[in-house]
């Protein structure tokens, strides 16, 4: 299965594919711009050409952009909601220009307005983007959350309800599953039975055909803690990733690590461990 990490775009987004290739990645994720800024710098034609050239020359099979953390398409505040739709649209158009496969987005927080309101708000935002830009090749992936701060998507039924609400709008729409977020929101992953139950519920509420990318992260927070705090593989409260990696659904899906990056060997070490687990089947 394709395995990779979230890479830095310091010096320009065109550096992303090369950084992934240096680590021996088959897939990678990066930001499309400043993840904490509303105003995004335009990408030059030269930068686009460099990105595409590096991507073509690498062994990378699947590329992903993670949308800005500022986006909140669940917000009851109209000004923030409109800014979020504009920024998410820019993220998708930038990814389309670069030839990126997927854009992953956090759906944001209802800020007290409730789950039903948030689901309707998110679905309406996606329908608007689809109507304005039909036929995008880049697919939008909704990511599950840890559930802190009334964030939308901590439970699979919320993600499924958003997808149902988008209906047949002309946009490719899928799901990105994060192991840390799922564990922190209350989905156990300790045993093969736990993992089988998780995928059974995912299939019922979302549909396994919608699952396109997996963020593989351990969790500093305990089961059900609702804390979005990633840890190195095997060093957090999930610990044993064997049952998850052995499940047939994981199959050939892209696995992207978003583990801490405090030392130069952090990414190589996590990648090596996951490769060992995959090779051994343990």
User: Which of 106, 121, 155, 210 is labelled catalytic?
Assistant: 106
Catalytic annotation on 247?
Answer: no
Catalytic annotation on 81?
Answer: no
φ, ψ at 81 (rounded to 5°): -60, -45
Query: Following DSSP, what letter does each residue of the chain receive, concatenated?
Result: --EEEE---TT-GGGHHHHHHHTT-SEEEEESS-TT-SSPPPPPHHHHHHHHHHHHHS---EEEEEPPTT--TT-S-HHHHHHHHHHHHHHHHHHHHHT-SEEEE---B-TTS-HHHHHHHHHHHHHHHHHHSTT-SSEEEEEP---GGGBTTSSHHHHHHHHHHHTT-SS-EEEEEEHHHHHHHT---SSHHHHHHHHHHHHHHT-GGGEEEEEE-EESSPTT-----EE-TTTSSS---HHHHHSTTTTT--EEE----SSTTHHHHHHHHHHHHHHHT-
Catalytic annotation on 181?
Answer: yes
Catalytic annotation on 215?
Answer: yes
User: Which of 19, 50, 66, 94 is labelled catalytic?
Assistant: 66
Angstrom distance (rounded) from CA 282 to CA 246: 8
User: Which of 19, 50, 94, 215 is labelled catalytic?
Assistant: 215
User: Which of 26, 47, 69, 266 is labelled catalytic?
Assistant: 69
Catalytic annotation on 22?
Answer: no
Catalytic annotation on 230?
Answer: yes
User: Which of 19, 50, 94, 181 is labelled catalytic?
Assistant: 181
User: Which of 139, 205, 228, 231 is labelled catalytic?
Assistant: 228
Catalytic annotation on 187?
Answer: no
User: Which of 90, 91, 143, 218 is labelled catalytic?
Assistant: 143
Look-up of token digits 């979230």 = 6
Catalytic annotation on 106?
Answer: yes
Helix (H), strand (E), coil (C) string for 155-175: CHHHHHHHHHHHCCCCCCEEE
User: Which of 178, 205, 218, 267 is labelled catalytic?
Assistant: 178
User: Which of 155, 230, 231, 267 is labelled catalytic?
Assistant: 230
User: Which of 47, 150, 258, 266 is labelled catalytic?
Assistant: 258
Give the catalytic positions in this structure.
36, 66, 69, 106, 143, 178, 181, 215, 228, 230, 258
């Amino acid at each position: 299965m394709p395995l990779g990490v979230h890479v830095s775009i310091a010096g320009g987004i065109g550096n992303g594919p090369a950084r992934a290739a240096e680590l021996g990645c088959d897939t990678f994720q990066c930001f499309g711009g400043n993840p904490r800024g509303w105003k995004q710098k335009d990408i030059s034609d030269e930068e686009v050409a460099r990105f595409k050239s590096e991507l073509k020359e690498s062994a990378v099979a699947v590329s992903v952009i993670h949308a800005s953390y500022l986006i909140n398409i669940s917000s009851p505040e109209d000004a923030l909601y409109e800014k979020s739709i504009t920024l998410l649209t820019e993220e998708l158009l930038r990814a389309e220009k670069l030839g990126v496969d997927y854009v992953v987005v956090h759906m944001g927080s209802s800020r007290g307005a409730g789950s039903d309101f948030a689901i309707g708000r998110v679905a309406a935002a996606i329908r608007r983007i689809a109507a304005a830009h039909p036929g995008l090749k880049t697919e939008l992936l909704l990511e599950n959350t840890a559930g802190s701060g009334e964030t939308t998507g901590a439970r699979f039924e919320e993600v499924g309800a958003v997808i149902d609400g988008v209906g047949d709008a002309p946009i490719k729409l899928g799901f990105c599953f994060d192991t840390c977020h799922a564990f922190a929101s209350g989905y156990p992953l300790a045993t093969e039975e736990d993992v089988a139950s998780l995928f059974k519920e995912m299939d019922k509420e979302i549909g396994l055909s919608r699952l396109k990318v997996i963020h593989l992260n351990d969790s500093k927070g305990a089961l059900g803690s609702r804390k979005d705090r990633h840890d190195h593989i095997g060093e957090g409260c999930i610990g044993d990733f064997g049952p998850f990696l052995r499940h047939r659904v994981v199959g050939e899906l892209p696995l992207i690590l978003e583990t801490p990056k405090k030392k130069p060997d952090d990414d190589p070490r996590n990648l090596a461990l996951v490769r060992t687990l995959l090779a051994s089947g343990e």
